[in-house]
Structure 1
Amino acid sequence: MFQGRSLLKEIDFTQAELAYLIDFAIHLKSLKKQRIPHQYLAGKNIALLFEKTSTRTRAAFTVAANDLGAHPEFLGPNDVQFGKKESTADTAKVLGSMFDGIQFRGFKQTDVEILASESGVPVWNGLTDIWHPTQMLADFMTIKEIFGDYRDKNLVYVGDGRNNMANSLLVTSAILGVNITILAPNDLQPAPEIQAIATKKAIKSGSQITITDDTAAVKGADVIYTDVWVSMGEEDQYDERIEKLMPYQVNAALFEKTENPNCIFMHCLPAFHDLETTTMQAIHAKSGLTELEVTNDIFNAPQSVVFQEAENRLHSIKAVMAATLGHLFIPKV
């Protein structure tokens, strides 16, 4: 059912298949904690293609491959041409002849699609400008660990509503039956085509979708989720984004509006919540701000689960790799 398939975007898998991968990730996390070996990919070679920088994605895929018995090979932007001196299709054919699976983290969704169509091996999207499917598995795994289920929970994403995280949260929530609100300024809300995909999925799952610029929409939230205000490749837009998005900062006042003492905070990281980064220091020197999308008190509050969420990147990525490459017996779901 999963063997040989790629994960390029959330809609590649059904609700039942995504649910299986989340449950499998929870199982693999338990095995890891008990130090029980699970080398389903012994003897396999995995190419890790990184056009964009990464901490969690690279670490998670590397450790996941090692835990599964495979050998991961990192190839950065200086190692693979990505269409500069060799077409992506030609690169895919070469890598597919040498590796058993390929991870791609980069800019264009078309690149990861070409890798999948031309390599002949499973390809996993570690992030593109449009989608971030491996992050979604970790996120909904985290929600299930905390609440026991994600279905019918109310998730509110706050901030830049037209980036890959907002796209993926909107569509994945709609697939899984999670009520999703995208809270963002009108000109930073998801593209119509993304909203259309989510609406179609929500009709089947019963998910309720809200797209709004009104912060009152956080009332009743079980999860408040945010992301950086400026995505990779948009670093020249900080001034404009800060002006537009400061009213959407996740802070104590916003959390109070949820009227839910059990509401948790999530962030895919990295987060600009203090002055411990050179980027934030430069912003502080120019604007006087010490925090951006989330305040430090919320980031470090008991209701913040960002580091549990970050760890779960490992287990969820491991589930995808094992299911699509490990020749596992998986009952039909």
Structure 2
Amino acid sequence: MTSLTSQIPLVSADEWYEFLEAVYAEDTRRREAETEEPLAVGAVGAVGDGALEAWLEVIGGYVREELAADGGEAARGLAPGETVLHQSMGLFGECDAGNSVHIDALLFPDPADALAVAAYYEYVCAHCRRADGVRAVHIISHSLSPAEITSIVAWLDGQWAALGLPDSGAHLVDVGSRFGAVVLGAVRGLSHRGIEGIGVEANAYFAGLAGRTAARYGLADAARFVEARAESEAGLAELSSASIAVFNNVFQFFVPRDDQPEVWETVSSALKPGTLVLSHPSLELVLGELGWSPERLAEWVRPVGVINGSDGDDDDDEAEMTRMYAYVVC
């Protein structure tokens, strides 16, 4: 898809979201017709040849249409009735409802779309149509894009033995799994590893939608979704058996900041030694601003790598992708 920046109209945010939805609805129909049938579930080559990313884009299209049909906010990636908490301090303290645009990277994976919306809000005031005195916009996604998930799967596959992950029976637990794309991408791209994926999701609608998606695309035997908060008994039971635990922007916009320290205390204590932890933002940032000292963090985990890290080249595609920080529980 070509950049949409030149097509930006002077319209409201809702009208622009509707425009994006219309463009992607047509693209989804084309992709599903071209892509869904040829992709063999669990094909090893899917990690590196673009097939997994293309399949995840089909998943995103299906989820987007289901979400819109069920009364959710498809462009923003929000469930029916879901609200987002904008924190007044901490990592995302500068983000508020007036200067932030939520565009879900799974449902709208083309970076040009986010940039187009950003350009509109950065340079044009929606009230007076003036370009001066307007705050910069923050583009926020609560999902990883198909390209980002594919990159994570490829990294896991390449580092599997070095990380000491089991030859079979590994459990990947995604905390705050939302649409389930990380889980589904992992069980499809790593099926030759005998992996099971579990999504722990507090939102009942998302847990149900992810389960329906897994069934639709033939992955119900390898992927399951639990409606539970991470710190609940059910959530902790899943985390205690995790070989890999994923935390992507997991609590910052959905748990009151005052509650986050206790949640992290509980969750961190559930992970057994040797568990691989993938986090964005880094645990140094997330837990540091909640009061964890570097020494305390070092007692819990040791860093083992960065996924989607850039080498500093501005033309490097990885520079545009979300960095995931990898750790192993001590």
Per the normalisation by structure 2, the TM-score is 0.44
More helix by share: 1
